[in-house]
Structure 1
């Protein structure tokens, strides 16, 4: 009789799979030697008190996988070609040990926050998903499924489905005075940032960034081998004079900018500085990545049109996303640039991702064509304006109570940049312990820049407070709790 002990367990799934696994274990351990003839299926069914068909299913599976051989009129045998030694030899062989893996560019394990872990959430780019019109959007999804052209479900259309591209192009003309000949649809703006860097950056090339910036963008650039150069900022945004100096010192290939509602300070770059920066980039052969991450939301006045709207030299890569208007899980971002740049980005996209989710793209296209998209935008902007004012009122109330807060209301966006005038280096940890999520100034510096302007910890005094993702009452209560953490 074959030397395996087997007892079926209903809690461990299909019995024939359990039996097959028991044979595999016996073969790998050397209990069943190469060439060993097994007992008949009938004998095993009696020995293990199993249905004969159950045994046969297990044996046929093992034959299909290559563990056993079936010989006509002879029965089942352990395959001779398996690289398994006898049990006596097995004991003399060293056990496998974990290999020391050599990664190209080791990265830390990604950390994500669970929104539900916090009572109060001041994440800067967090929309209120509870206000998203899911029933309305469901109609668009249903329409996409009913009227789908099955040819669109095959590989192809790397740049995105034509229906969505056409809707976005029309929307950009109406909402941002931005005319574009073509678009690339991406799985969110992060993929677009990575593709832009991959298209231009060779290891050792320089990318200029605002001193305080969007950490995932910097990590994407760095992973492509870029060397980052910090450019000074002031209350009006990126400092043109300092940018000019760094252009003389470093052969900068790209400039990454968030000119509208600068991330994280919320400052809007003036038209004068935009023109000066564009001219410097043109003179030095620098490509501009314009990240327009929350253009939709403006409360004081109409926002400035993107730099890409006036780009005669074709040096601006314009990136935006629907994540702030919809939700992050929708993964709909888009890029427009000159034809040569988009061609390279499409080629790099094909290497990592043949295409985006077709049904989502078509659903968003139907949602936009129905007019529901822009109606939702108007409702959301109205809602966020109320919360924007509620946060400003609460912070002003704190000032009147003697707290040394300083802040300026931005023209739009989803967050405020607040100077607490005390060191906030440890505030995030203490706030998290109280169930409050926020971001502090030290998170937005990049320590590995070749020219890092990160200050001493004692100079870190700002916090970024998102106001869009929670009700006014929730926000007020959270701010009061946060003030007790900052000013104990």
Structure 2
């Protein structure tokens, strides 16, 4: 075996004094890497700590600590009065004179599935003003109240039972309060067996699509439709069949025609507040879709993504509330106005379907956030959820009405829109002819960001979905002013 002082340790033990990783850990990592690459073959004797410290310019106590860890992990053996030796099973190649990092010339990278469907269309911008597709204003959240409630639950939590028992009991209490809340607010008639709760609306949709859709299944969606849900449905293997939407929702004659020409497995609807146009499915069409579901055997996947924001005193109940034949799978969100992590997604459906969903959810989300569920259970029991909803309703209704006033005063005669009764966005159709991408660029030059996901343009349509909920009154005025200025520069210049 070569003399240890002949080994060029500094060529492969690279230590960085300014790195966040402690030096002794760097030593451990570098030695393990050298052993695994065969740079320090089995049986190699390492120089004494004083010599090695001088070579690597490190403190001796630091090196001794690193060597102790290496020995405990089985990479080296420290033999009293004999020295320190490598225990790797790597074999020494006598042809190696200069130590260099080997390069595997013929090793190919591993293969994996690539999705062209799930490419994120979302954009980010640092511009001071931004429209979105209808998100709430997180500045309105009373984080101090949330923190106090969360901490108080943590302090009261006394572990007197097995943790699995605590999780089960907490989750059962939450589901009991939650299905009662859904029955009260949405007119459902469900029990605990008909309800699945998830960490988000997106997880709910993913799980439901996984169970309902096989590769090649025909799935009807409204056109224009919700790009994120279409991505999830397509990724599940769906063959998307777009059906036009008018002022009363999805067109029944077009839906019936689609059913007559091919097998339809699922009809995906945002019936209460269609995305992106904000229209509600009329009462007549609701009954017709339920009848078609019974006739052609498709499942109605009803997505109530924005029920939290009912702004006027005329709430529309979901199809699930009038479904007597168990043809509707109802998904939605809860507490969207709370910070990320506090909200919930849910699925309401026949008990057998929920039971199957639970199998898949147990893999995706095996644990339960007990404290979070206890906080929300208390909120529902104490009526805090209703108080928060009432408070938000006043704020967002004022913002909607102010936004409508601004659109009428600054852009009246150049746009067409209907005032939505719910949600935090307005569907605006432009009467002038111009390119929306050019409008996006003009707005950006003036400090307003219009993401591509809110732009809709075809041969017969130029429209934008403008979210007002995240803007205060002054920000709205500035944003509409920039829209007007940008439109003028496109149309009149």
Q: TM-score, structure 2 length as denominator? A: 0.86
- What is residue 275 of structure 1 aligned with on the other side? 287
- 8 Å contact from structure 2 (residues 442, 486) kept in 1: yes
Deviates more, 1:346-355 or 1:102-111: 102-111
The root-mean-square deviation of aligned C-alpha atoms, in Å, is: 3.0
- What is residue 311 of structure 2 aligned with on the other side? 299
Q: What pairs up with 1:162-177 in 2 under 5 angstroms?
A: 162-177=172-187
Deviates more, 1:135-144 or 1:391-400: 135-144
Once the two structures are TM-superposed, the CA of residue 159 in structure 1 deviates from its matched residue by 12
- What is residue 55 of structure 1 aligned with on the other side? 63
Once the two structures are TM-superposed, the CA of residue 19 in structure 1 deviates from its matched residue by 2.6
Matched, 1:17 2:25: yes
Instruction: Choose between structure 1 and 2 for higher RCO, CA contacts under 8 A separated by at least 6 residues.
Output: 1
- What is residue 38 of structure 1 aligned with on the other side? 46
Q: What pairs up with 1:267-346 in 2 under 5 angstroms?
A: 267-322=279-334, 324-346=336-358
Matched, 1:139 2:154: no
- 8 Å contact from structure 2 (residues 123, 451) kept in 1: no
Q: Structure 1 residues 93, 466: CA separation in 2 closer, same or farther (over 3 Å shift)?
A: closer
Once the two structures are TM-superposed, the CA of residue 233 in structure 1 deviates from its matched residue by 1.2
Q: TM-score, structure 1 length as denominator? A: 0.87
- What is residue 68 of structure 1 aligned with on the other side? 76
Q: Structure 1 residues 98, 315: CA separation in 2 closer, same or farther (over 3 Å shift)?
A: farther
Matched, 1:364 2:376: yes
Deviates more, 1:463-472 or 1:169-178: 169-178
Q: Which runs of 5+ in 2 are unaligned?
A: none
- What is residue 399 of structure 2 aligned with on the other side? 387
Q: Structure 1 residues 433, 77: CA separation in 2 closer, same or farther (over 3 Å shift)?
A: farther
Write the deviation string for residues 278-332 of structure 1: whole angstroms up to 9, x where unpaired.
1101221111111111113233432111111122111211111135322344341
Q: Structure 1 residues 123, 303: CA separation in 2 closer, same or farther (over 3 Å shift)?
A: same
Deviates more, 1:262-271 or 1:121-130: 121-130
Once the two structures are TM-superposed, the CA of residue 231 in structure 1 deviates from its matched residue by 1.1
Distance 2:77 2:219 in 1: 61
The counterpart of 1:257, out of the listed 264, 269, 272, is 269
- What is residue 347 of structure 1 aligned with on the other side? 359
- What is residue 425 of structure 1 aligned with on the other side? 436
Once the two structures are TM-superposed, the CA of residue 465 in structure 1 deviates from its matched residue by 0.8
Once the two structures are TM-superposed, the CA of residue 75 in structure 1 deviates from its matched residue by 3.5
- 8 Å contact from structure 1 (residues 291, 318) kept in 2: yes
Write the deviation string for residues 150-192 of structure 1: whole angstroms up to 9, x where unpaired.
5685499699812322222222232222221122111211110
Write the deviation string for residues 439-468 of structure 1: whole angstroms up to 9, x where unpaired.
568867xxxxxxxxxxx7443401011111
Distance 1:439 1:155 in 2: 47
Deviates more, 1:12-21 or 1:242-251: 12-21
Q: What pairs up with 1:87-486 in 2 under 5 angstroms?
A: 87-88=96-97, 94-96=103-105, 99-107=108-116, 110=120, 112-114=122-124, 117-148=126-157, 150=159, 154=164, 161-182=171-192, 183-322=195-334, 324-400=336-412, 403-421=413-431, 422-426=433-437, 427-439=439-451, 457-486=458-487
Deviates more, 1:280-289 or 1:191-200: 280-289
- Residue 290 of structure 1 aligns to a residue whose secondary structure is strand
Distance 2:168 2:130 in 1: 36
- Residue 11 of structure 1 aligns to a residue whose secondary structure is coil
Once the two structures are TM-superposed, the CA of residue 392 in structure 1 deviates from its matched residue by 0.8
Once the two structures are TM-superposed, the CA of residue 137 in structure 1 deviates from its matched residue by 2.1
- 8 Å contact from structure 2 (residues 41, 89) kept in 1: no
- 8 Å contact from structure 2 (residues 252, 285) kept in 1: yes
- Residue 165 of structure 1 aligns to a residue whose secondary structure is helix
Once the two structures are TM-superposed, the CA of residue 149 in structure 1 deviates from its matched residue by 6.2
Q: Structure 1 residues 146, 179: CA separation in 2 closer, same or farther (over 3 Å shift)?
A: farther
Distance 1:314 1:278 in 2: 10
Write the deviation string for residues 398-445 of structure 1: whole angstroms up to 9, x where unpaired.
244xx511111112211100011234431334434443233568867x
